[in-house]
Amino acid sequence: MLEHIIEPEAFLEEMMLKVKKNGLVSISLPIDPGLMWRCGRFFLKLFNVKKKLNISNLEYDYMIATEHVNSIFNLISIIKYRYTKKIITEQYLPLRVKILDFNLFYNVTIKK
């Protein structure tokens, strides 16, 4: 949900304060605006937006633009800068290749 948070760095810091010593914080982020993510949104708009959400493609694009205020590239930079030595695992899914454009989700686990 960090892609929706106006101040993700402050939010992450607050999460780390709440976790006990040696506790874990697991974060899953959509790789938006990665290539696979954009392709998925394109096909969703093509086949489902009007029918299921009953909104226009323009309204859908506006909704996504106003809700997803942080890109995956910025969020990963924040996470790696602040918590590099505390990262336990990183996963790129579904293809598990460490290239953002070829995946849909980025998962990271941080140990306090």
Give average pLDDT by consecutive 10-residue segment, the chain, 112 residues.
Answer: 93 95 95 90 86 88 90 95 95 93 95 94
d(C-alpha 49, C-alpha 57), whole Å: 7
Range of the domain at 10: 2-111
Tokens 């995946």: give the residue.
103
Residue 52: the pLDDT is 85
For residues 93 and 107, is the Cβ–Cβ distance under 8 A? yes
Nearest to 33 by CA among 67, 7, 70: 70
Residue 108: the pLDDT is 97
How many domains are there within the chain?
A: 1
